Structure 1
Amino acid sequence: MRLWPLLLLALSLLGLAQDLKAQEEAVRRLEAQTARARALEEEAARRIQTLNRELSRLSQRVKGLLEEKARLEGEIARLEGERARLRQEIGRLKEAVRETEGRIAKLGKDLENLKARLQALMGSLHREKAGRYLPLLRAQSFADLAVRARWVGYLSRQDAALVRTFQATLKALREERERLSLLLADLSQKERSLAQTQATLERERRGLEATLAALQREEEGKRALLRDTLQERQRLQAELAALQARVLAERTRLLELRRQEEERRRQEEARRREEAARRQAALRPQAVVPPPPLPAQVGRLAFPVPGGRVLVPYGREGPFQVIQGPAPGSPVQAAAEGYVAGILYLPNLGYTVMLVHTETLSTVYTNLQEPLVQEGQKVERGQLLGYTGGGLLIRPEELEFRVAVRVGSETRFVDPAAYY
């Protein structure tokens, strides 16, 4: 019988087509992930450029503020030196004022003493108006008289001149004191003005230092963000490289699957041509005897998954029914008496078991875990073949069930519902 090799070939091609479809979907997913990773990496690069520009701007501002701070500190130092010089000058002037006031006080005291002497002399002259001339009368000669008179006049003139000298000196000292006081007041005003200017500059410096500290904190935050962004970009670049490597590997695998599919199609075409040539060359059909005897009448097929239901009818997703079992790993039974014609394993579809019931009727069970039967084994209706859940692309509680019917030289899959 040539039915089961053709069915196995058809299942193999179907499995390969599903593998190819799954591989193409995997490649598309990886390419989408690669595109997203590349977009994220480009966004990280743009953020890095923006952060570098902001850091450059902040560095320029910090540099300008540092230069302004240095200028203010130089100006403050200059003002402090000028204030120190003014304080020294003020101290010197205060000392000069104190000395002048001391001299004025001394001259005033001497002047008061001299005035007292003159007042005493004048009083004495008034009291003894006649007696003032007695020393002159006692002179022994005219020459002696002249000398005595000249001497008395000289003494009077000297006292009067001394008083005038003291008064002039006292006036000059008072003027000098006034001048020093005015100079001292002017210097004090300048010192206060410098102090106010220095205080203003100090406030500006403190404000500048606060602004500079804020900018430095902002710069440090930007640098930390830049470090994090660089690390994120490195991670994205590594992820992108890994995804590109996976895409390359999956594309290579996809190309290999396409090559295998093309090769299988060529083999199938060659086999079909060979089969057609054999049919044409054969004078009469040759009977094929299956290994074990088959029943003459199969009857209605048993539902392959006890307690299950038809989830997807025949023809909606392909030439098969999708039967949902009660739970993952549901038991699968033989739909009728027959023998195991073949067992095929594909990772995405799990194990596929094909039973031949008659020369024109076969059933196929896909998505089994490791089968409980072997090729060539005779099975009874309802015998346990295995459990669902062996494939990667089919849910673990589902079974793909096919019924193959041979009509003449053509074998095709039909709706299993017509045989229950």
Structure 2
Amino acid sequence: MGLLGAALAAAPVSLRAQQDTTRLLKDKIEQSQKRLEEIRQQRQQLRQAMQRLTHQVSTASEEIGNLEKQIGSSSSVVAELDVQIEASGEQVARTTARMLQTRDELTVRKTELHERLKEVYERGPLGPLQVLLSARSFSDLIDRYKYLHLVTLYDRMLVRQVGTLEGKLEEQRSELAGQLSRLQDLRGSKKQELSDLQSLRLQYRRRLSLYRTQRSKAREQEAQLAQDEAQLQNVIAELERARRESERRAGRSTSSSLTTGDLGKLAWPVDGRIIYQFGPERNGGTTINRDGIGIAASEGTPVKAVESGRVEFAGTQGLMGPTVIVSHGGGYYSAYLYLERVRVHVGERVARGQVIGAVGGASSRSGPHIEFQIHQPTAGGAPQPVDPVRWLRSHSGG
């Protein structure tokens, strides 16, 4: 009676601790999943920005910065997947342990039920009646009746427990299958992310190598351009010395077709927009000093002299290509660089608005354009380049 009462009084084993642990694991996975979605959204935005950069920027520096951010995002995705894989692995382990515990408990209950059924079968249908009839007194009869009632309750509880445990075991098997499937999916996602990350790193190294090569070439070109600019100034300085010597020998000064009174009045040598300004221009980690302005125009567009004068130079000037220098007298010169071809010759007199060449520069980094310069005299020294925009008419293209 005592053992039977204890069995009936015992409540089902509390799973509160296991449920709390499972809930914590689920919360951990859900929080990680939210972070994972945020990271993936950020990475998608970076990829879209990368596509825009590919079409919009002329150098690879911004693309490299974007790739670095993508690598960081992919590394974060892998880290979050590791968190979920670890948590899911713990879930699988705990579910497996609970399933084994349930199976062992089911085995015990089935054994008990089998023994009870065997006992009932051996006693036959009159067993309970014989127990009651063998009572020695009325109080003994009441005790025996209570005992039989408790036995009946215990048998019913045993049957229910077996059914409940069987359902619980099936539910745990289904839960375990889902967790294993999710774990497999997570591992597959991690494998893909690692592959993407490796691809990004390879792309980053290639892009960085290309960028360094381009930067090195750009620096070489800029150094060459600086030399060409200096050489052009030397050419103009030499032309000016020759002009002054000629005037000294002739004993008279020649008039100038270009004066400060022409500021803001000269026609443009070619119609187009300004793509770089006069003065220092910073490009990446280098700086080049522009002695003129860049005017973009279609290749082959006629280029005209801004004022009358004499052609003092008509030939190729380093990376600047075909170049024309016109002397306007009095130490004033205009220069036209990056031409496709020259249509005048040294010593030729040109009129204002006369075509002297055609737009070139297609192979330069700035694309088809010309560089237009104006050099004005200094007190006893070589002519110095000045901002041509001050001399040109107001122009919508500028």
Residue 325 of structure 2 corresponds to 354
Pair 1:63 & 2:88 matched? no
Pair 1:238 & 2:238 matched? no
- Which aligned pairs between 1:364-403 and structure 2 lie closer than 5 A? 364-368=335-339, 370-373=340-343, 376=346, 378=348, 380-381=350-351, 382-388=353-359, 390=361, 392=364, 394=366, 399-403=370-374
Q: Identity of counterpart residues, as a percentage?
A: 16
State how far apart, in whole Å, the 1-side matches of 2:276 and 2:64 are. 38
Task: String of CA shifts for 1:77-132, please: whole Å, max 9, x gaps.
Answer: 3322432343233233326x39x99xxxxxxxxxxxxxxxxxxxxxxxxxxxxxxx
What is the identity, as a one-letter code, of the residue corresponding to 1:402? Q
Residue 193 of structure 1 corresponds to 157
Q: Which runs of 5+ in 2 are unaligned?
A: 1-56, 136-140, 249-253, 281-289, 394-398
State how far apart, in whole Å, the 1-side matches of 2:221 and 2:71 are. 32
Residue 341 of structure 1 corresponds to 313
What is the identity, as a one-letter code, of the residue corresponding to 1:88? K
Summarize the Cα distance change of 1:374–1:415 in structure 2 as closer, same or farther, 3 Å threshold: same
Q: Is the 8 A contact 2:304 2:357 kept in 1?
A: yes
Summarize the Cα distance change of 1:230–1:331 in structure 2 as closer, same or farther, 3 Å threshold: same
RMSD of aligned residue pairs (Cα, Å)? 5.3
Q: Which has the higher helix share?
A: 1
Summarize the Cα distance change of 1:344–1:311 in structure 2 as closer, same or farther, 3 Å threshold: same
State how far apart, in whole Å, the 2-side matches of 1:212 and 1:380 are. 92
Q: How many residues matched?
A: 301
Summarize the Cα distance change of 1:94–1:401 in structure 2 as closer, same or farther, 3 Å threshold: same
State how far apart, in whole Å, the 2-side matches of 1:322 and 1:263 are. 18
Question: Which residue among 204, 208, 212 is the counterpart of 2:168?
Answer: 204
- Aligned-residue offset at 1:237: 0.8
- Aligned-residue offset at 1:303: 2.8
State how far apart, in whole Å, the 2-side matches of 1:309 and 1:418 are. 16
- Aligned-residue offset at 1:63: 1.2
What is the identity, as a one-letter code, of the residue corresponding to 1:373? R
- Aligned-residue offset at 1:184: 8.2
What is the identity, as a one-letter code, of the residue corresponding to 2:315? I
Residue 212 of structure 2 corresponds to 248
Q: Is the 8 A contact 1:93 1:184 kept in 2?
A: no
State how far apart, in whole Å, the 2-side matches of 1:263 and 1:366 are. 14
Task: String of CA shifts for 1:110-168, please: whole Å, max 9, x gaps.
Answer: xxxxxxxxxxxxxxxxxxxxxxxxxxxxxxxxxxxxxxxxxxxxxxxxxxxxxxxxxxx
Residue 122 of structure 2 corresponds to 92
Residue 124 of structure 2 aligns to a residue whose secondary structure is helix
Summarize the Cα distance change of 1:375–1:210 in structure 2 as closer, same or farther, 3 Å threshold: farther
Residue 104 of structure 2 corresponds to 74
- Aligned-residue offset at 1:240: 1.8
Residue 59 of structure 1 aligns to a residue whose secondary structure is helix
**Higher RCO, Cα 8 Å, sep 6+:** 1
- Aligned-residue offset at 1:361: 4.7
- Aligned-residue offset at 1:357: 5.7
Residue 121 of structure 1 corresponds to none
- Aligned-residue offset at 1:395: 7.3
Moved more, 256-265 or 190-199: 256-265
Summarize the Cα distance change of 1:415–1:387 in structure 2 as closer, same or farther, 3 Å threshold: same
Task: String of CA shifts for 1:275-327, please: whole Å, max 9, x gaps.
Answer: 8xxx9xxxx95799xxxxxxx87746973547x489699967865466687x8
Q: Is the 8 A contact 1:76 1:202 kept in 2?
A: yes
State how far apart, in whole Å, the 2-side matches of 1:410 and 1:218 are. 80
State how far apart, in whole Å, the 1-side matches of 2:274 and 2:219 are. 34
State how far apart, in whole Å, the 1-side matches of 2:123 and 2:214 are. 97
Q: Is the 8 A contact 1:404 1:414 kept in 2?
A: yes
Q: Is the 8 A contact 1:90 1:187 kept in 2?
A: no
Q: Is the 8 A contact 1:76 1:201 kept in 2?
A: yes
State how far apart, in whole Å, the 1-side matches of 2:277 and 2:221 are. 28
Residue 371 of structure 1 aligns to a residue whose secondary structure is strand
State how far apart, in whole Å, the 2-side matches of 1:252 and 1:309 are. 30
Summarize the Cα distance change of 1:410–1:316 in structure 2 as closer, same or farther, 3 Å threshold: closer
Question: Which residue among 368, 379, 385 is the counterpart of 1:413?
Answer: 385
- Which aligned pairs between 1:226-375 and structure 2 lie closer than 5 A? 226-253=190-217, 256=220, 299=257, 303-305=267-269, 308=271, 320=292, 330-335=301-306, 336=308, 338-339=310-311, 341-344=313-316, 352-356=323-327, 360-368=331-339, 370-373=340-343
What is the identity, as a one-letter code, of the residue corresponding to 1:403? I
Q: Is the 8 A contact 1:361 1:404 kept in 2?
A: yes
